[in-house]
Amino acid sequence: MQINERVVPQGIILDVVGDLTYANRGVFKAAVDKAKSAGCRHLIVNLEKVRFIDSAGLGLLVLVSQNLKLIQAQLSVLKPQLYVREIMSLANIPKMIPIYDSEDAVSGARAA
Amino acid sequence: MNSNVTEPIGQAGESSAQPEAAATILLIEDELVTRTSMAARLRRLGHRVLEAENGLVALDVARRERPDLSIVDWMMPEMDGPTFCETVRRDPLLKSSQLLLMTAHDQPAQIAEGLARGADDFLSKSASKQEIVARVLAGLRASRLVRKLETTGNELESSLLLLKKQQAETEADLQSAAAFVRSILPPQGSPAQGIALAWEYQPSLMLGGDLFGVMAIDADSLGLYILDASGHGVAAALRSASLMTFLRAEHMLQLLGSYDPEKVLTEANQRFPLSVEGEYFTLWVGQLHVPTGRLSYASAGHSGALASLAHGSLRWLTRSSFPLGFDPSAQFPCDYVDLQPGDRLFLLSDGIYEVPSPSGELWGRERFQDVIEGAKRTSLSATIASCFSQARSWQQAQFFSDDAAVVGLELAGGSEGGVNG
């Protein structure tokens, strides 16, 4: 798995490439910690190039979301592929973490 | 034998070239005058010098004393220098010795032969005092490095043996734990009159985090569950065993007064919060009233169960819901399905269908459904075995990257099959 960080007006986008799974949790945690230490208030995880997420990956997203809320920050998910979206829906993740289909939609939602 | 051991006797003359520490040098030379003169010079450098008149005698001394450096004359009776070098290189105890071959004729061909037969360096008999000192010191430096490497190698070997021993103990513990976990899984056969049960389970590691249960609640009802701990390995297995203990029928009846799936999940949701590492469970719970075939069920984020109806289609028994511990106020409402004789119910972990092909494409739920649908006419155990064999075939590997479990129940009355048929 590879993660590239982009600073955008809405916050920080983490472009994830590869599977978000138990085996890759360390890489993801490190990227999140780096964004948090940079003072990020809105972390956007771009899952466009993630084909699979397992239960551990899902747990990480929820944990990050809860931890960000504690510091009045937010986690959003961007453009998950169909199968990843199904897995997230099964676990009711959209009720906990906003999911957007474009970067414009993220900024629109924040502005609203 | 003309070998003797003498303590250092002074450091005059070559004292400017003192080694870091006194070393033991074996001097092998048949000419008494040359040997005595060289021995005296080495002793003045502060070394302990052992003397031997030929290679044969020197071998005994070397095996007994393990000198730091051997200075060997080429021409000697009984055993000459090159033969001594060859013999040393073949001896497991001595083969790393530092050997300095002395010769009166330092011709390139002779040097090449000496090196080929095991010498580390050469010393001309006509060498200056400075050259002798320099070559001896160089030989001793090499000797110290080799000895250090040998010591380090021995220590590494000891550590490796210790690690292997500890690993064997850990594996024995894990096998014991795995055997225990398998022993508390439901026995295959008939958990209630008119119900057949078969299952197959393959943890991704020795201990798995996906576990399941089928147990009598009362005279008419079976309690069913399948749980999936996020993550893998021993930690996940231990957490699963803890939830498994919580889900025992007698515990639920004592705590809740029933095995109502909604109540079970609501209670479990309070007891098993999301850990600080993001670990959690998904859980599917059902209660089957055997006389009527009515199944009540609820899910906490689990991919759920699949009903294969004898005279109908397949039906997934799940709905979107939070896994355990995501939201303390989460609700887990019950759904119902009335199963008929011949119907089958499969509880499964996602590890059975989330298997990638070598190109990365997942086998997926649809292909899993196709196997269940296509195997309706085969026995329950054969249907489950087919799921595993086709998943393995898809991934072109015997073992799964996640825990894989399929539990099948069949209501008696179908025209074909049976739990072992």
Catalogue all structural domains in chain A, each as residue range(s) with its CATH number: 2-111 (3.30.750.24)
User: What residue in B sits closest to A59 (Cα-Cα)?
Assistant: B278
The answer to whether the CB atoms of A59 and B282 lie below 8 A apart is no
- Give pLDDT tens digits for B234-288: 888 888 989 999 999 999 999 999 999 999 999 999 999 998 888 999 999 999 9
Q: Which residues of B touch A25 (CB under 8 A)?
A: 278
* Alpha-carbon A32 to chain mean position: 9
Report the C-alpha gap between B390 and B358 in whole angstroms.
Answer: 14
Taking the Cβ of residue A99 and every Cβ of chain B, the question of whether any pair is shorter than 8 Å is answered with: no
Q: What pLDDT score does A47 carry? A: 96
How far apart are the C-alpha atoms of B330 and B226, rounded to whole Å? Answer: 19
Q: Which residue of A has its CA nearest to B355?
A: A52
Binary contact (A60, B326; C-beta < 8 A): no
Tokens 């430096």 correspond to B141
How many residues are given for chain A? 112
Distance CA B64, CA B15 (A): 29
- Which residues are within 8 A (CB) of B3 and not within 5 positions of it... i.e. 6 or more apart? B50, B51, B52, B53, B57, B58, B60, B61
pTM metric for this prediction: 0.70
Q: Provide DSSP, A80-110.
A: --HHHHHHHHHTTGGGTS-EESSHHHHHHHH
pLDDT for the residue B130: 86
The CATH classification of domain B186-411, taken from the options 1.10.150.120, 3.60.40.10, 3.60.20.10, 3.40.640.10 = 3.60.40.10
A45 at interface of B, judged by CB pairs closer than 8 A:
no
B-chain CB neighbours of A84 within 8 Å are: none
Q: What pLDDT is recorded for position B334? A: 96
Spatial contact of B94 and B88, defined as CB atoms under 8 Å apart:
yes
| Structure tokens given for B393 | 């075939």
Q: What is the pLDDT of residue A106?
A: 85
Residues of B in contact with A96 (CB under 8 A): 322, 326-327
Contact B301 A59 (CB under 8 A): no
Per-residue pLDDT of chain B (421 residues; tens, 9 = 90+): 444 444 443 333 444 444 456 889 999 999 999 899 889 988 988 899 999 999 999 999 999 999 999 999 998 988 899 999 999 999 988 888 899 998 877 778 888 888 899 999 888 888 888 888 888 889 999 989 988 998 898 899 999 999 999 999 988 888 887 888 888 899 999 999 999 999 999 887 777 788 999 999 999 999 999 999 988 778 888 889 899 999 999 999 999 999 999 999 999 999 999 988 889 999 999 999 999 999 999 999 998 899 999 887 899 998 899 999 999 999 999 999 999 999 999 999 988 998 999 998 889 999 999 999 988 889 999 999 999 999 999 999 888 888 899 999 999 875 443 333 3
Which two three-digit tokens encode residue B252?
């639920």
Distance CA B374, CA B377 (A): 8
B209/B184 Cα distance (integer angstroms): 14
E strands, B142-192, in order: 189-192
DSSP string, B61-124: HHHHH--SEEEEESS-SSS-HHHHHHHHHH-TTTTT--EEEEES---HHHHHHHHHTT-SEEEE
- Is there a contact between A55 and B274 if contact means CB atoms under 8 Å apart? no
Residue B411 distance to chain A (closest CA, Å): 28
Whether the Cβ atoms of residue B300 and residue B323 lie closer than 8 Å to each other: yes
Looking at residue B273, what is its pLDDT? 93
Residues 6+ positions from A67 with CB-CB distance below 8 Å: none
Contact A90 B320 (CB under 8 A): yes
Radius of gyration of chain B (CA): 39
Instruction: Report d(CA B23, CA B50) in Å as an integer.
Output: 11
Answer whether CATH 3.30.43.10 is correct for domain B5-154. no
pLDDT of residue A108: 67
Min Cα distance B231 → chain A (Å) is 5
Instruction: Provide residues of B within 8 Å CB-CB of chain A.
Output: 228-232, 274, 276-280, 282, 301, 303, 318, 320-323, 326-327, 330, 350, 354, 356, 360, 362, 402
What's the gap in Å between the CA of B319 and the closest CA on chain A? 7
Min CA distance, A20 vs chain B (Å)? 12
Check: CB of residue B283 under 8 Å from CB of residue B265: yes
Question: For A31-81, how does the pLDDT look when each residue is reduced to its tens digit (9 = 90+)?
Answer: 999 999 999 999 999 999 999 998 889 999 999 999 999 999 999 999 999
Structure tokens given for A106 = 């993220």
Q: Identify the burial level of B285 via C-beta atoms within 10 angstroms of its C-beta, where 0-12 means exposed, 13-18 middle and 19 or more buried.
A: buried
Half-sphere exposure of residue A49: CA atoms within 13 angstroms, side-chain side: 9
Q: Kindly report the number of other CB atoms within 10 A of residue B156's CB atom.
A: 10
Question: Hey, what are B250's tokens?
Answer: 């007698």
In chain B, what residues touch A92 (CB-CB under 8 Å)? 301, 320-322, 326, 330
| Gap between the Cα atoms of B347 and B374, Å rounded | 18
For B22, the token pair is 């006194």
The Cα–Cα gap between A72 and B192 comes to 53
Instruction: Judge: A96–B232 Cβ closer than 8 Å, yes or no.
Output: no
Residue ranges of the domains in chain B?
5-154, 186-411
pLDDT given for residue B125 in this prediction: 81
Any CB–CB contact under 8 A between A26 and chain B? no
Mean pLDDT of chain B: 87
